[in-house]
Every structure is written in C-alpha cells, then in structure tokens.
Amino acid sequence: MKKALVIWSLLLAVIPLFAKQDSTKTHYELAYRLGVGAGMMMPDGKVDQWIQRPLIGGSFAVEFLPTGRWHCLQQWNNASIGVGVRYLNLGNDKILGSAFAAYAYMNQPFYNGTHFRIGVRPTVGLAAVNKTYANTLPAEYETYSIAQTTVDGKKVLLGNWSIGSILNAYLAMELYMDFPIKDGWEITLNGGWHHISNGSFMHPNAGYNMFGGELGVRYRPTPAPSQKGREEGTPKPDVPRKLYDGVDKPWAIELSVTGGVKQNYYRDNYPKMQFFGAATLKLAAYWVPVSIFRIGAGVDAFYDGYYRCVSNSFAADNPGAPVTHFGKTYLKESKVENCFRVGISLQPEFIIGRLTAGIHVGFYVFDPIKNLEPYAEAKAADEAGKPLNRGVFYAYDFAEASNKADGWCYMQFVLKYHVLDHLFVQLGLKTHGVRAEFIDAGLGVAF
C-alpha cells in the first residue's frame, strides 16, 4: 500500500510538468485525471467464500477535450473522451489476486456548468488478472475437475471458479462529478459498476461484477488567451444528420462478417482443451433521426461450433464426435445443422464521429437448439417419443436463461469503427440473458 501511495504522489507531482508545453496548438486540449478508491465484489455463488476484504485500487487517465476540431463530441453536450489505466486488488491475494486494466471511455455530461459537472462514463477495455481457475486449483485435484469440500453441510468450491483466462474484457458504467477549484485543478468523484470476463473465450467464465468509487483530482492546463472559447462549454454546432462522419446521408445498408473462437464448459477441456469456431453474418438497414443516434433492423445468421458436440451419455453412439459434460442442451447426435441459427433484430446505435455503439436485440426464426433445452425437459420428451416442437415464441425463464435454456431472445453488444466511408471494423459480444455465448470481430461494408 505504501508503494502505491508513493506512485500516486509522484504522478500528482509530474502531471503539471507534462501539461506545460510551449505549443499553442494542442496543449490545452488535454486533461489529466488521477484517483484512488475502494469497492466491493458482488457475490456470485462461486467465489463468495474467498472475499476477505474490500477492493482497493486507483487509476490514471488522459482526456481529450471537446474543442472546435471535435464536432462529434460537441454534439454530445460537450463530452470528452479519455484513455486510462486502473489497478485493482480484488480482496484476496491468494485466490482472487489483482487486476490491471487499460481502457477508453467517454464523459457524457448531464450538466456541464462552470463550477460543477455531473454525467455518466461508459468504459470499455482489456483487463489482465494474475489469479485464474487454473492456477488456484488445489494441487491434489486434476485440472478441470470439480474441486469442492463441505463446510457446515454446504458444498464449497475450491479455487477461483469465476475467471478462466488471464486476459479479459473490461467494462464499466460510472456516475462522475467534477468540482473545479482554481487554475485548472478540480476535485473529482466517480463510482459505479465494473465487470471483468472473457465472453466465453475460456471457461470457467462467470466473471467479476464489482461496485466501487474513487476520489481524485483532475488537472487541465489553462488555455492561452487567443484560444479561450474553444474549450469545455463551447456551443454545439449545427451539424446535419450523418450516418457517421464523412457520409452526409441519413440512411444506409450494411453487411458484416465476423468470427471468433470459444469454449463452452471447463470440464470439457480435460485432458485436451477444446475450442470451437463461431461466426456472425449481419445484413441491416439504418436510418438517422437525429445527429447522435441511428436505428436499424436486420437479419442475423449465427454459427456456433460447440453444437457439434454430443452429451457425454451419448459419446459411445457417436465415435469421433466432440463430447460435452454440460447438462444444458440435450445433444443426442452430432449434427452440423445444430450449429446454425437465424434471427431478426432491432439495432439501435449511438453515433460518435466514425464510431457507432449499440445493443442489438432480436429473436430467432430458425433455431434447432430451442427443442433441445432445458436438458431434462428435452430428454423426457424424447424418451416419451414426443420430441419438443416449439414455435418462434414460447415461455421460458429469461432470468435463468444462462443456466437452463437460451430461449428465443438474443442480444449483441456491437462496436463499429468506419476506417473508410464504406468500410468498417466490428467487434461484437453475443449473449442470452446474462450468459455470454461468444465474442467475434471482423469487417463490414456500407452502401
């Protein structure tokens, strides 16, 4: 803890040195943010017994302010964007360890006054952890086995069952408040939800959900006299509706192809790790009603190679087929057609210059998996000679979708960046309820 305090103190001392540049062109566009904080890990049933103390940590970030050259930020009530790093001690050095995150974020003000600012801060990045399932499992247990004991009549899992990989995605949504003091210095408060997981790339993958807050300082060099007015608080320009910067039309058709790899269940990795391919093909039309938002609708086709597996009780009947021990889907035969699903989705997205971000929500019109879940129900129907035959919409427990059945509703968290007017890169996370199915990335074209 003493080393951390020394580091924060040194950073606090050198921030003004970095900021005081002779250049009158760009130096005023940056601000620097430093904070220390604490929080709590949300219980998830897997690492509850290992939570020994509150989370502690700190962060450092550089922000790019909404000047005249950042029209896309001025459209968001003079928002600013930043890049930062964060350290978190997760409350148990032996089992949970620590996390180090690098991320980008956007300060979206609700109120942007002279003496006070308040807003929300969506954040996305990567986080590395030093404790995972593999390096916290007791030595007497085989890798990918169920390691547990009984305490007071209750089963207790041994090791870290929430994180399976060292490198993970990092997401956060915070409320922030800034209080300007004098000469570019401000007191800052921020707090909210933080999440670390790998999107089912490697299991187990329950992930960490955390709530925490930080107290810190922010320093923004004072602009030169000739530059005043091109700073936070600059009036928003009258920008026409654009699909994204560079394309002056309020509509478009987009086609994208993305791919990735995933695991599905940690026990299926023994004695050899199993990875499966995943892919998405999307065709959608978009319309821009206002300059910061567009709405779309489209058709999505998905491939998930995991569904070539057969349930372990049918392994002998399917020689050579990959086998799964996960008792969610009743996979009696290894069929390629089980890997494909097609859906129709609503695709709202926010526009920030050439970047668009949104949550696509859809329903399946072709889904062979719907009649194979939940496992017990599908098995009973098959053994009775009356296999399930569900329609497009049917009753299921959405809150328990991650444990029992995917259901007919799916979601995708999608980021797109238009590197050219008609070419973009895309990153997506597909989920059912709170369970991630896979992460994929690829390219798309806009017409």
Kindly report the average pLDDT of the chain as a whole number. 84
Residue 244 is assigned to a structural domain of this protein? no
pLDDT > 60? residue 10: no
Average pLDDT of 241-252?
66
> Has residue 66 been placed in a domain?
yes
**Predicted local confidence at residue 434, as pLDDT:** 80
pTM for the full predicted model: 0.83
Task: Work out the pLDDT band at 140, boundaries 50, 70, 90.
Answer: low
Residues 171 and 271 in one domain: no
Rounded to whole angstroms, how far apart are CA atoms 197 and 201?
9
Question: Pairing relation of β-strands 251-262 and 435-446?
Answer: antiparallel
In degrees and rounded to multiples of 5, residue 305 shows phi and psi of: -65, -15
Task: Name which residue leads in pLDDT, 6 or 391.
Answer: 391
Measured distance CA(101)–CA(55) in Å, rounded? 14
Residue with tokens 């930043």: 82
Query: Do 205 and 165 have their domain in common?
Result: yes
Q: Are residues 286 and 355 in the same domain?
A: yes
Residue 236 falls within a domain, yes or no? Answer: no
Whether residues 272 and 408 share a domain: the answer is yes
Could you tell me if residue 234 is inside a domain?
no
Are 29 and 119 in a shared domain?
yes
Whether residue 174 sits in one domain with residue 294: no
Residues 6+ apart with CB under 8 A from 309: 264, 268, 321, 322, 323, 324, 331, 334
pLDDT greater than 50 at residue 12: no
Q: What is the DSSP letter of 397?
A: -
> In this structure, are 28 and 170 located in the same domain?
yes
Q: What is the pLDDT at residue 273?
A: 75
Domain hosting residue 422, numbered range: 251-446
Q: Check whether residue 196 and residue 337 sit in a common domain.
A: no
In-domain check, residue 221: yes
User: Which range among 56-65, 67-76, 103-112 shows the weakest confidence by mean pLDDT?
Assistant: 67-76
What CATH number should be reported for the domain holding residue 33? Answer: 2.40.160.20
User: Which H or E run contains 442?
Assistant: strand 435-446
Domain membership of residue 245 (yes or no) is no
CATH number of the domain enclosing 438: 2.40.160
Contact 165, 132 (CB under 8 A): yes
The reply to whether 315 and 220 lie within a common domain is no
Is residue 43 in a domain? yes
Q: Are residues 213 and 262 both part of a single domain?
A: no
Q: How far is CA 113 from the centre of its chain?
A: 31
Question: For residue 405, is it within any domain?
Answer: yes
One domain for residues 223 and 349: no
Among 193, 227, 261, the domain boundary falls at 227
For 180, residues 6+ apart whose C-beta sits below 8 A from its C-beta are 114, 115, 116, 186
Tens digit of each residue's pLDDT (9 = 90 or more) over 147-195 = 665 555 566 567 788 898 999 999 999 999 999 998 889 999 999 999 9
Mean pLDDT highest for which of 72-81, 156-165, 316-325, 401-410?
A: 316-325
pLDDT, residue 154, reads: 61
pLDDT of residue 137: 78
What is the total count of domains within the chain? 2
Q: Are residues 62 and 192 in the same domain?
A: yes
Per-residue confidence (pLDDT) for residue 223, from 0 to 100: 56
The pLDDT tens digits for 313-357 are 999 899 988 999 888 999 999 999 999 999 999 999 999 888 999
